[in-house]
A and B are shown apart, each in its own frame.
Chain A
Amino acid sequence: MSAPQIVFDDVSKFYGDVLGVNRVTLNIPPGITSLVGPNGSGKTTLMNLIAGLIRPDRGTVRVRGISPEDPEHLMRVLGYATQYDAAPRGMTGLDFVAMALMLHGMSESDANKHAWQALDRVNLTDAAKRKVGAYSKGMRQRVRLAQALAHEPDVLVLDEPLNGLDPLVRAETIASFREYADQGRHVLLSSHVLQEVDVFSDQVILIANGAIMAEGEIRSVRDEIKEHPSQYLLRCRDTARVAALLFGEVDVNEVKVLEDGSGLLVMTRNRDGLASALAGIALSGIEIDGVIPADENVDALYEYLIGGGR
C-alpha cells in the first residue's frame, strides 16, 4: 500500500481578482517538504488550503485521505503553526496550548500535562504562565510550534517555523522535525533560509506567482533544469593541468579556475560523462582531492527557476 499523501488536484485559489495559487497539482509524500518561494508567491495560501482555513475555488485537496472541509477529523491528524502572530486575548502560553488540547477532548489536567511537555520541547516552560501578548516574536513562534506539536499530529504544517529562533533552539527544532519525518509523518514547512532547507528537506516545492515551478527531491529537480549546466567544485592542486584535460572532454561545457587557485568550477550537462572523465584523470595519476556539487541546493534551484528578489 502506498504511503498516505497530501494531494492537490488542479487547485486554484483567488482572493477577489488577486491570484493566490493557480492550477496546482501536487502529491506530497511523507518526510520533510520545504515550500520555497518569494513573498506573495502562494506558500501560505497552499498551507491554508491544506488546513481548510481557506477553500479552493477550483480543484480538491486531500490530506492523508481527509478533506479539509472535515475539520473534526482533519485537525486530529494535522497541526498547523500559522504565521499569524496573535493569540486570543489574555491567554498565557500554557492556556494557548492547553486549551487547544482540551478541544481535542482531553481533560484539563491531561491537557495541561501535554501542554507542559510541548512547551518543554520548544524551551518555553519558563514563560509558560506569561501572557502570549507579552511574548517576543521568537517566543510567539515557539508557542505556536508547541501548539502545533502538542497533539502529536501526523501532518505538521509550519509557516516559517524557524524565524526568530535562536541557533540552539533552531538546531533542536530541526532535529525534532527530522525525528518526526522519520516516523513516516508529513512535515511541510516554508522557509526563507535556503541553506537550512537544503540540509533538512527530503523534498522541495518551488513556487512563484501562484504556480509550482518545481517539486521533488533537490537532486531530481536539479536534473530537470536543462538550460543551466550542473556545476561541480573540483578540489585539486594541479588546477591548470586538470583544466586542460577537462577542456578536451565533450561533456564539459565550461571550466573556471577558482580565484584562490584551490580548485576548479566545472559545468556540465552530462553528470555521468563528467564522472567518467574525472575517473580517467584520477587513474592517470593526477590527484583530485574532492568533487562537490555546487548547485544541487535550494539556493541554486531558486536562482535558476525563480530568479532574484527573494
Chain B
Amino acid sequence: MSFSTELRQIGVIARLELRRAFLSKRSFWVYLLALFPAVIFIGHAVEVHVRQQRWSRQAMASPAVIDRLQRGMSYREVIRATGEPLRDFEWERRSRDDEFEYKMRHVLVFDGRRRTDLTFRNDLLESIRTRPLASLDEDRQVFAGVFQFFFLRVGVFFGCLGIFLNLFRGEMLDKTLHFWLLAPARREVLLLGKYASGLIASSVIFTLSALLCFTALLWAQDPVEVQQYWAAGAGHELSRYLLAAVLGCVGYGSVFLAAGLLVRNPIVPIVLVLFWEGINGFLPSMLQKVSVLFYLQSVCPTPAPIEADTPALVRLILSPAAPVPVYGAVLGLLGLTGVVLWAASRVVRKIEIDYATD
C-alpha cells in the first residue's frame, strides 16, 4: 500500500475520531480543566476593570499632583492637592500600658490608572506607594507560575489522559474497537490516525485556553503598557507558551495513548507517570531527558517563580532541571514521542478483541 494511501487513511481515521475526541462524554471534564486557569485570569481582568470604573467615578486625583507628593508633607497639604481620597482611615498606636504613642493614617488616592497608598504618621506623610491597578510584570510572573505548575502539570497532563487514554481503552469499553480493526489499514496507521485526532483535539483545547489566559492577562493591563510589551516581544513569549502547550499534548498524548493500549486500569499509568514527572528534579541528567516536563520547562519563556520560603523538597520538585535550548527541547520531545509511539505500534499490532467470546 502506498504512503499516500496510508496518509489518506490516517486523515480519514483522524476525521472520524475528532468528534469523539472533542465531544466524548467520558472526557468532558477536560474542558473544565482547560478553562479553569482562564477563569482565574478573566476574573482578575474583570475585577481590575470594575474597580477602575468604580474608583474613577468616586474620586480621581490628577497624576501630576500625585507625582509631586513628597514625604514630610502634612495631611492637610496632601488632601488639598489630591482632593477627596478614595479611602481615609486613621488609627492610634498605643503602648502596652495603653499610653498613646503616635497616630497613623492610611489614605488611598487614584489617578484613573494607578493607585497610590499614602501612609501618614502623626499627620506627616511617611510613605508613598504608587502602582498600577494591575501590574504587568507581576501578572506575567503569575502567568508563568500558573502555566507551569497548573496548566502543564495538571491541565495538559490530565487533559491528555482523558482524551488519549480513551482512544483505544474507550473503544474497548464501548465494544466498538472491532469497527477499526476491520478496516483495511495497518494497525500502525490506525494508531497514528487516532493519535492525530487526539492531538488535534487536545492542542485546540489547550492552546485556546492558553490564548484566552494570555488575552485576559493583557486585558487587565494599561493599554500603553500592553503596547510597549507587545513591541518588546510579547508575541514571541506567547508563541513559546502555545508551543509548550502543543508539545505537552504531543508528549503526554503519546504516553497515555500507549498506556491505553497496555492497561485496563488508568490509575496505574497516572500514578506512574505522575511519580516519574514529579521526581524529575532528583534524577541524573540522563534520566531527566526521559520526561515530558523536562522539555516543556525549557520551552517556557519565563521561569516559574518559586517563593523563597518554599520548603526545600517542594522546591526540588518544582524547580526546573537545567534547561536546554528551545530547538533542542523540541527535537528531544519529538524524539521521546517517536520512541513511545514506536513502542505503542508494537503493542497495537498484537491487540486482540477480547470483550466477548463465544
> Which residues of A line the B interface, CB within 8 A?
15, 18, 20, 39-45, 48, 51-55, 69, 71-76, 80, 82-90, 96, 99-100, 102-105
Contact = CB atoms under 8 A, between A and B. Distances in A.
A83 B184 contact: no
Contacts of B355: 84
Contact of B176 (A42, A44, A86, A100): A86
Given A15-B357, A40-B358, A45-B357, A86 B182 contact: no
Nearest to B352: A54
Contacts of B357: 15, 18, 20, 44-45
Contacts of A99: 12, 16
A89 B22 CA distance: 12
Interface stretch (B1-9, B240-248, B265-273, B293-301): B1-9
A55 B174 CA distance: 21
B358 A44 contact: yes
A18 B185 CA distance: 30
A76 B350 contact: no
A96 to B, nearest CB: 8
Interface residues of B, number: 34
A86 B174 contact: yes
Given A55-B350, A88-B176, A103 B358 contact: no
Given A41-B358, A86-B175, A103 B19 contact: no
Interface in B1-60: 1, 5, 8-9, 12-13, 16, 19-20, 23-24
A87 B179 contact: yes
Contact of A105 (B5, B24, B171): B5
B182 A53 contact: yes
B187 interface: yes
Contacts of B8: 105
Contacts of B5: 105
Contacts of B176: 84, 86-89
Given A72-B185, A72-B186, A86-B174, A54 B179 contact: no
A103 B183 contact: yes
Contact of A83 (B12, B20, B174, B356): B356
B174 A89 contact: yes
A94 to B, nearest CB: 13
B181 interface: yes
